[in-house]
Every structure is written in structure tokens, then in C-alpha cells.
Structure 1
Amino acid sequence: MSERQEFVPVRTDRPEPAVLCVADVLALPVVQRGAPAVLVGGVALDAGVRWVHVSDSADVARLLDGGELLLTTGAAWPTEPGALRRLVAQLTRVGVSGIVVELGERMPRVPDAVVAACAASGLALVALAAEVKFVAVTEAVHRALIDAQTAALRERQRLHDLFTELSLRGAPADVIVSEVARALDVPVVLENPSGEVIAAEALRLPLPAVLRPGTPEGGDRVPVQARGVRWGWLVAGDGPPHPAGRATVLELGATALAFGCLADGEGAWSLLAHRRLLDDLLGARFAREEDIASRLRRLGLDPAESGSRGLVIRAEGPAEPPVERARAAGFAAVGARRGADIVLLLGPGSLTDAVVQRVADGAPAVVGPEAAGVLGLLASTRAALALAARAPGGEAPTVRRVDDRPLERLVSALHDDRRLQAHSEQMLAPLLRHDRERRGDLLDVLAALVAHPGNRSAAAAASHLSRSVFYQRLALIGELIGADLDDGETLAALHLALLARRRDAPATR
């Protein structure tokens, strides 16, 4: 759900870093010629430098606006420790980036009071053992600032072009989120106003760690909004500064996402998140169960709870997954369309036939067995898909359950066992070869037989064949596979082989 209201501009609370910091200035060759010694460093060297100011005055603080790196010989500084501490305090209050003192006859060493005061206030302090031309330092810093600003402008333009192109091409939200993460080199998450994760790019971090609710400590977030509508938040973890500014990168990505919402509608995000998750789950493309579990939890479904299951609805046409109907019935739900099916992952709850019919809006539905964990939920959904693919002949029940089909459950549980596939291929190979070479229907006849094992008249009707022709087909099947179709064990083995072969039917439609 989007939020519709009036908004004031929202930016990150953390100011963008300057294009140069104290450490960058110290690395300049003209400064290195002065043999700089860092007396107070650490994080203080990360302070942004907006400009350099040259002054020996003890009253220089009133001339500064903040962000300046002070170059001085200290010639006019007081000598009394208390006055020196007050001087450092004034410079700290106006927000200077740091102090660079050129040592000489007037000040052969930086006074202890200045070192202690800078350390206490976190103000960078550097001593130059050799004489340098302050004008040369100023010129070098000016060139570096111009170069950095030019690079920042080029990077902003590059990113602007990139996200504009993504918007014009109709790139999905997850592609835009990935581009933002790569630009910032930090994990990025897209959330809707309810806190559900629409897309995430974890880069090198474990996905569960990135998907913990709440903004990562020290991270940034910007709203995705336009025309008084807020669709969600773009959240970035803490990381290195960016030439174009972290907030600028996030805002460019958020703008591209907002254009996508205007074009596709506010429901497109949820459809994307649910579809990609189901594709990854059913396609077995996820590397770890924890990744899928984390994504499910951020969509409101905890797979660790016992009683979760898959539900498959046979709904032709463009109908959207009835996730809201399932939630209205009291279930946590994730859903997406897959071919001719709508697949729902449901949390625990009483899933009676009446509830299933209400969620499915009267369409035929198949209920998977209860399960726990990602693999259990996967097995439940696969079993429901396999049973849904086997449309029964005649009047089909509106609600079918895998629990009522024990052999189907067995095939679903053993789906990844190559021995089951070998059994299917070995038993059915003669029939498959016959049907392929002669465009025959032996496999369909066999399927009708195992569906009506005690009623061959019904099996013949399901095959749309006369009884005499049906019996001829059965005799040919028995001859080709060298088995007696009246034998119960043989019939069970053939049924198992058919189920194993059809097990992949939903993925191939």
C-alpha cells in the first residue's frame, strides 16, 4: 500500500562529505615536502576540507565559516596554556577541519596544551618540520578541489543518464536497486511503507543480515515518492563516500523508481517481489535456505512456523494472485502467477474447503500438505503443482488435497532422487518410443487406467475410446513393457513412473 499525503522534502540526516578531507590534503606533494607529522589524527583526518586559510592571528576564528584547514606558524599565538586551549575551542566551535602548524624559531614545537585540546575535541593537528610556501599549498588545494568537483559533476551526470535510461526502458525495481548498490558499493534495500522488502542487493554480505528490519546503523534512507504519493523507502547501508554524494545517488535511484510506479501502478512492486521470490524458490536458484527465509519473513510469512503450505489455483487469464483475499482470511501469504497456475505460499491456519473456495474465488484449487521450513514449503508447493497438472477426467472437485493422494506425496518427497527418475524412464521407455514413432496414445491410455484401476469402463471413457479399442491398447502396452496389467504391483509401479514423469509438468508449460 502506498501513502497518499502531502510531503515536505526529505533528505538524509547525515551531510554529504566534502570532496576533499584532511588526509587528502596531507597527501599532496607540496605538503609532503614539509615532512608533516600527525599529532592528532585517526578519524579527525576524515574531516572535510572546503578551503584552506592562512593566518597567524589568535583571533582568526571570527573570520572563518567552517570547513577550512588552518595553515599557521603560530607567530601571534599566546603562550599561556589557558589561552591556547581557548583558541582551540574557538576554532572547534566554528568548525575548522584541522590545524597545520609550520614549526620554526617562534614555535619550535607545538605546545602540549594545543595537542591536548585538539585531541580532546577531535580536531586534526599536524606539524610541518620543514618550511613550505603556504601559497603553493593554497593553489594545490584549489586545483584538487576543482578536479574533485569536476569528477563529481561527471559522476552525477553519468548516474543521471544511467537512471534516466533505466526509467525510459521500464527497468524493474530490482534492477534499479542493484544499480544503486553497485554505485555506492553497499547493500541497498527497497521497502514499501509497510516494511515489506520489494527488492534487495546484498553484494558481498549475507542476505539475512541485510534484511534485518530497520535502517542499517549509520546508513541512509530516502523516500520513493511523487505527486503526493509515497511508495516506499530506498535504504542504503553505511559505506564509503561517493564522488557524487551518497544522498544524490539514492535520490537518483528513488526518482527512477518513482517513475516506474507512476507508469506501472502501485501494485507492480508487490507483484514483482512475490514473483521473483517464487521463481527463486521453485526454480531452486537460491544458494541458501536462509536467504529465502529472510525474504519470506520480510513479506510477512515466517516459514519456520509449522503448518505452512502451498496452494495452487487453476485460473486462466490475467487474474492477479489473491494475496489480499488470503490475508483477509487470516493467512500470511505470498503469491504469483506461474503459467496457467496461481501459486500461493500460506502461513499456518485452518484451510477448510470453504476457505480455499473463498480464497480461490471458486476456481479449482489444490492444497499442498502442511510443512515447516523453506524446504518443507518447497516440497508442499511442488506436490500441489504436480497434482494440479494432473487434471482428472469427468467432474473434477473444486478443492483437491495432496494429503488425499499418498503416492503423489511420495513422488514429491523423492523428486530429487535420481533412482525415481531412472525407474520412470525404464518402465515407460517402450511406450514413449512407440508414441513418438507412431504418434500413438499409449501413455494417455495408461494414465487413464491407473486413474481408474478398478473400473476399466470408466478408464475407456476417460480415454475417449471404445471398450474394444481400449482393451487393444492395453494388450499392446502389456506386450511392449512385458508385464501383466492385472497385477497390482505392476500397476502401482507404472502409476509411480507416470507421476515421476509428470512431476516436472508445471515447469515445462
Structure 2
Amino acid sequence: MLRVADVLALPAVQRGVPTVLVGGRALDAGVRWVHVSDSAAVARLLDGGELLLTTGAAWPTAPAQLRALVAELTAVGVSGIVIELGARMPRVPEAVVQACASSGLALVALAAEVKFVAVTEAVHRALIEAQTEALRERQRLHDLFTALSLRGAPADVVVAEVARALDAPVHLENPAGEVVAIEALRVPVSEALPPPGAGDRDRVPVQARGVRWGWLVAGDGPAHPAGRATVMELGATALAFGCLADGEGAWTVLAHRSLIDDLLGARFAREEDIAARLRRLGLDPAAGIGHGLVLHTDEAPDRIIARARAAGVVAVGSRRGADVVLLVAAGAGALTDAIVQRVSGGVPAVLGPGADDVLGLFASTRAALELAGRSSGSHGPRVLRVADRPLERLVSALRDDRRLQAHSEQMLDPLVRHDRDRRGDLLDVLAALVAHPGNRSAAAAASHLSRSVFYQRLAVIGDLLGADLDDGETLAALHLALLARRRDETRTT
């Protein structure tokens, strides 16, 4: 459907030197036809959506009658009034202007004479072209979303295509209001996500066979040739086919995995964007103390999340390699070892430091991942806490300080070059030493070396570094350097 503004831009109308007397949002009214009449009783001949072209030759002159005429035209739903000025009506009566302004009806005056038939033909031709373009665009989108369905495209791909078609932010949410996928385009995610249940958004249900799996929601955007509702319905149909094929659980996996990946990969420009997505999954970083939690387990993340909720713990989680990574927060009180073990199901768990914002959760989760990588296969406590390890806390706190990396490079460079050039294991031997500072027999066993070979390696390390490995301060500095190095290795992988 054309808009009044589109009609005014046509050359046939421009030749009449149009002046907009009532415009603004009224110019966005749809025009489905043009009707030419000077009759004051024309309203009874109209069905709505017509743009009235008139000279006003048979219109009354009394202000009350003119206001009544405009009221009748508004009531039947005309798109606007275009009046050609002339000897009978040299200027538009003020009563007509005021009545149109009050009712939000577009009003345009033509200063020069035009052929109404030429205007009618131009509008009708433009309407046919618009309808043809709409049909072409509907077919293109139908082919696009059908192809996505047949290929088994995941929900986030479908949502992204809907957003690109509408040139507007689009997100998919389940019945609980949790955001499954979002494509915000040029808008910050925190702005593209309204509070759950908020109105003033285009929403279409994603449903099939009597089951509603969620809603596809679009923000403000331009008109679409095929109609915004048509685009969204085609996208919702593709999403429903995906649910029929993969099950509703695939949405939960996607929502949690994409958020964990974006957080740990630092794929966000604003903290609030991640915070908004977390809140839609039930975890508000600012509402309490959150932690990163890493479990070395083969169990499916959704089962762990369900167990966490049963224990009163809010959790968002996803698998990363051999581990399950979760962002957790206790509803009330602290995360005791007993609660953590209930969540983990008894498998070894590593809990990062407490955090009350997105960057804190980012650092907490990375610290837990780094400690989990070093403690894998050990027979220590079932719950390891980064907060119980002072150097781990320090490395986490200085996560982006260039001086920490410089300290690591300065301390360890001779060993790094030795291991690289000779395919040696001095860094591993040093790690075993700092892990068992008071028990070199245990350190040798952890290195899988005999005591004599282990002591030989220590002698080489001491010579290369020019350091006394029996000095506590030296060992602490080397331990800090190793932690910083391994943290950087974890970040790059």
C-alpha cells in the first residue's frame, strides 16, 4: 500500500505545487485508491483508504458544516484530502484545517491546476507496481525461509535473516521470557531487549500442532514491501519447523551456549548488553554475588542446570570441550561446598571468585577455567575455590595489567627458549615444584620423573634463571609468572 507521502512525491501531483497543511504522521496513512469528487455527500460512497481529490466546488461554506464534512470523511477512514485551489475556493477554510488537524487527517492544497485523471492514473500505476513488488518479495522470502527450514538452520540464523529483512532488531523468546537468540543490528542489545512482556513491539507466536514454543519479536523499523507481519510469520514458521525437528530443548542449549561463548570470547562492546541477556535467562549480575563454575563431566548441561535450580541456584551453562562452564548465583546466602556438590552431582568442581558485574563474572569464569585446567586429574578436594588461592586471586584481579605479562616474560623467558629449542620440559618441572614447594619427592612424582632426573632439571633451571630455588620469595615470583603465562595461554586458545 502506498502512503500519502508517496502520492505527494509523484510528478503528476508535484505539478500542482502541493502545500501540506496537515502532515506529520498523517502522511504515513495508507492509500489503496484515489477518489475524485466535489460532492459534500461523498463520504457515503467511500469504503476507507481512499485519497480524496476535490476542488471543493460543492462544499458548504459554514464552518460547522465543514467540520461535520471532515468528521464524516474521517469516520469512513479516508487517507487524506487533496484540494485544488481555484476561483470557488481560493484558500482552504480555516475550519477544514482545524478539523483535519484535530482528527489527524492529511490535508494538502494544490496551488496550480492539475489533471485529476493524470493523478489517478499515476497513483493506480504506482499501486500496481507496489503490489507486484510485494508479491516478488513475498516469494523471495518464502524461498529463503523454506531453504533455511530444509537445511535445518538453527534459530539464531533464522532470527538474523528476519532482522535483516525488516532492517530492525529482532529477538526470539520462549514462553518464560528467556531470550533464545537476538539480532540487534545497529542497536545496542540492551536497548533492543525490552522488559519481558513489554508492549509496543510487533510479536508473532512460534507454534505448530497446537503447541506454542515462544514469540518472535521485532523492534521499530521501516515498512516492508511484503508487510512486516508477513516477514515475521514466515520466520516464525521456519522456527516452528526447527522445533518440530530438533525439540524445544535445542533453544535452551543455543541460548546458554551463545551467551557463554560471547562472554568468554569477550564478544561484546558494552557490559550492559551481556547483562541484559543474562537477566532474560534469570541471572542478574547486579542483584547478588555470581561466580564462574567449571565441572569436569560428561553430563548434559541442561541436567546440571535443572539440578542447580532445584538447589535454589540460578545457573546459565554450556559445554566447552571436556568441561561444563556455568555462571551461577545463589538465590539466598553463599555457595557452600555442599551446595556446589549438589549442583555438580559429586564430580570435581572449580568455583571462581565472587562477582557483582559482567566483567567480574568474565574474570571469575576464566580464573576457574585456568585452575580447572591445572588441577585436572588431581586427587584434591571435590570443590576447589580460586578465592582460597592467593596468587590465583591476584592474577584474576590483575587480569588485563600489562605489567603482569611483562613479569611473566622476564622471569620465564630463558626456560621458554630452552624448551622451544630443545623440546624440553623445564616449564613443567618448575610447575611441579611450585605446586609442591615443601615436598620435592611429590613434585618429582607429579613430573613423572625419577628423583635424580628431577634434581638435574632443577639444577638446569637454577642456572638458566640465575635463581635460588630454595628461596621462598623467588618461588612465589616464579609461581606468579607461571600462573600469568598459563592464563594467557588459556585466553588465546
How does the TM-score come out when normalised to structure 2? 0.93
1:359 corresponds to which residue? 343
Deviations 1:336-384 (A, max 9, x none): 1112221111124432222212111121111112222112222221211
Pair 1:209-2:165 in alignment: no
Counterpart of 1:270 in structure 2: which amino acid? T
**Equivalent in the alignment of 1:334:** 316
Does 2:255 align with 1:273?
A: yes
Q: Counterpart in 2 of 1:232?
A: 214
Q: Residue 494 of structure 1 aligns with which residue?
A: 478
Judge conservation of contact 2:301–2:318 (CA < 8 Å) in 1.
no
Whether 2:226 is the aligned partner of 1:244: answer: yes
User: 2:395 maps to which residue?
Assistant: 411
| Superposition deviation, residue 442 in structure 1 | 2.4
Match of 2:448 in 1: 464
Partner Cα distance (2:49, 2:301) in 1: 59
The aligned residue for residue 464 of structure 2 is 480
Aligned residues: 491
CA pair 33-339 structure 1, distance change in 2 beyond 3 A: same
Looking at structure 2, the residues matched to 310 and 341 of structure 1 have their Cα atoms a distance apart, in angstroms, of 12
Could you say which residue in structure 1 is the equivalent of 2:366? 382
Aligned counterpart in structure 2 of residue 146 of structure 1, from 119, 128, 151: 128
What does 1:74-85 correspond to in 2, within 5 Å?
Answer: 74-85=56-67
Equivalent in the alignment of 2:383: 399
1:394–1:47 distance in 2 versus 1, CA, 3 Å: closer
Question: 1:361-414: per-residue Cα shift (whole Å, max 9, x none)?
Answer: 121111112222112222221211111011266523221111221111112222
**CA 1:87 to 1:396, structure 2 compared with 1: closer, same or farther past 3 Å?**
same
- Give the letter aligned to residue 164 of structure 2: R
Measured against aligned partners, the alpha-carbon deviations of 1:427-466 in whole angstroms (never above 9, x if no partner) come to: 3233333333333332222222211111112222222222
1:312-334, CA deviations, whole angstroms, 9 ceiling, x for partnerless residues?
10114765562221122112211
Superposition map of 1:148-227 within 5 A: 148-214=130-196, 218-227=200-209
**One-letter amino acid of the structure 1 residue matched with residue 435 of structure 2:** A
1:424–1:500: 8 Å Cα contact kept in structure 2?
Answer: yes
Give the distance between the partners of 2:188 and 2:302, measured in 1 at CA.
Answer: 32
Q: Is residue 46–residue 76 contact of structure 2 (8 Å, CA) maintained in 1?
A: yes
How far is the alpha carbon of 1:508 from its aligned partner?
A: 5.7
The alignment partner of 1:78 has SS state of coil
Read off the aligned partner of 1:222 and give its amino acid letter. V
Deviation at 1:303, TM superposition (A): 0.9
What letter corresponds to residue 490 of structure 1 in structure 2?
T
Query: Structure 2: how far apart are the matches of 1:113 and 1:403?
Result: 76
Amino acid at match of 1:92: T
Give the letter for the 2:18 counterpart: P
Q: Which moved more, 1:343-352 or 1:294-303?
A: 343-352
Q: Kindly state the Cα deviation for residue 141 of structure 1 after the two structures are TM-superposed.
A: 0.9
- Go from structure 1 to structure 2 and tell me whether the alpha carbon gap of 1:321 and 1:367 turns closer, same or farther (over 3 Å shift): farther
- CA shift in 2, pair 1:347/1:62, >3 Å: same
Secondary structure of 1:395 counterpart: coil
- 1:33 paired with 2:15, answer yes
Q: How does 1:255-334 map to 2 (within 5 A)?
A: 255-316=237-298, 320=302, 322-334=304-316
Per-residue CA distance 1:279-318 (angstroms, 9 max, x = gap): 2221222112222222211211111134211111011476
For the Cα contact (< 8 Å) 1:216–1:237, is it kept in 2? Answer: no
Structure 1 residues 362, 87: closer, same or farther in 2, change over 3 A? same
Deviations 1:199-227 (A, max 9, x none): 22333333222223146664311111122
CA-to-partner distance for each residue in 1:253-298, whole Å, 9 max, x for gaps? 2222222222222122222222222222212221122222222112
Distance 2:393 2:448 in 1: 29
The 8 Å contact of residues 345 and 381 in structure 1, kept in 2 or not, is answered as yes
The answer to whether the 8 A contact 1:425-1:497 is kept is yes
Deviations 1:166-205 (A, max 9, x none): 3333333233223222222222222111111222233333
1:88-127 correspondence runs (5 A): 88-127=70-109
Task: Tell me the amino acid that sits aligned with residue 132 of structure 1.
Answer: V
| Whole-angstrom distance in 1 between the partners of 2:416 and 2:433 | 16
Unaligned runs of 5+ in 1: 1-18
SS of 2:317's equivalent? strand
Residue 141 of structure 1 aligns to a residue whose secondary structure is helix
1:424 pairs with 2:408? yes
- TM-score, structure 1 length as denominator? 0.90
Match for residue 254 of structure 1 among 219, 230, 236? 236
Structure showing greater relative contact order (alpha-carbon pairs closer than 8 Å, 6 or more residues apart): 1
Is the CA contact 1:53–1:70 (under 8 Å) kept in the aligned structure 2?
yes
Summarize the Cα distance change of 1:114–1:426 in structure 2 as closer, same or farther, 3 Å threshold: closer
Larger displacement relative to structure 2 (165-174 or 144-153)? 165-174
Q: Is the 8 A contact 1:52 1:70 kept in 2?
A: yes
CA RMSD of aligned residues (A): 2.3
Quick check: 1:137 aligned with 2:119?
yes
Distance between the aligned counterparts of 1:223 and 1:274, measured in 2?
Answer: 22
Gaps spanning 5+ residues in structure 2: where?
Answer: none
* Deviates most, 97-106 or 396-405: 97-106
Aligned equivalents of 1:315 and 1:155: distance in 2? 49
CA distances 1:51-108 after superposition (whole Å, capped 9, x unpaired): 0112223322222111111222333333444333332222221111122223334444
